Amino acid sequence: MTQIVTGFHAIEEKVRRALDSGKIDGLSIQLAKTGPRIKKILESAKKAGIPVINADKNALDSLVKVLPEVARDHRGIVMVVEGAPEKAENDVDFDRWIASSKSLENKKQTVIVLDSVTDPHNVGAIIRSCDQFGASLVVMPARHSANDFSDNEIIARSSAGASSYVPVSVVTNLVRAVQQLKDAGFWVYGADAGGENVTKLNFPAKTCIVMGSEGKGIARLLEEQCDSIVSIPTCGKIDSLNVSVAAGVLLYEVYRQKI
């Protein structure tokens, strides 16, 4: 398959991975203009040996037509990935991950479960926070969620490229997945405005955070699996935080307690 990548962050991350791995097969950059940020990308691409093809704006406009409208702003540079694998390297088999986690009893691990988060901007932003605050795994359901993390350009851009390496597992049954996490020693915390103040909690080494959907929150059966419900103290006039902002705050608090 052919993948079209736009956005400075996402392209920079692809180039960085090529530099680190030495693998540039199928990679090329099409360029319609330059600027300080693009020049830095081109310098790294040259070091990696990635071909750069001069093109015009119309050619780039044609390439990005296959992308969602919000991802079509190429800003003069597009990366083309020919022969992109159907399954991303960071697409994790959940059962295998759980099996390996059980052998790491004393290791600090943080898992975040996204219950039907459908906005790819939110998914990308959460994955970016997972990278910054050391989350071990993101778990998403196979249905009713923006889970196409490996080829969704909105997720790639919102995550600043982190969606290409933060471990992600897409499962058919979130309730079963959370039960498996509990069996592996994880304590499970659901995020909800009516929960216990997060600043009063001491998170264990193995922590799982469950974030509900943008509109309905955490599904009842999944909430029943949570050991505790936690909330973020706020002082604003609206009733709640955006799910990606809330996830970032909770991930930071877990990370802060573990450093």
Ranges of residues in the chain whose predicted pLDDT is under 70? 84-86, 105-106, 239
SS3 of the chain: the string is CEEEECCHHHHHHHHHHHHHHCCCCCEEEEECCCCHHHHHHHHHHHHHCCCEEECCHHHHHHHHHHCCHHHCCCCCEEEEEECCCCCCCCECCHHHHHHHHHCCCCCCEEEEEECCCCCHHHHHHHHHHHHHCCCCEEEEECCCCCCCCCCCHHHHHHCCCHHHCCCEEEECCHHHHHHHHHHCCCEEEEEEEEEEEHHHCCCCCEEEEEECECCCECCHHHHCCCCEEEECCCCCCCCCCCHHHHHHHHHHHHHHHHC
Over residues 158-179, the pLDDT tens digits come to: 999 899 999 999 998 999 999 9
- Tell me what pLDDT residue 84 has: 66
Is beta strand 2-5 parallel, antiparallel or unpaired with respect to 52-54? unpaired
Q: Which of 47, 41, 53 has the alpha carbon at shortest distance from 9?
A: 41
pTM of the entire structure? Answer: 0.77
- Tell me what pLDDT residue 17 has: 85
Distance CA 106, CA 185 (A): 10
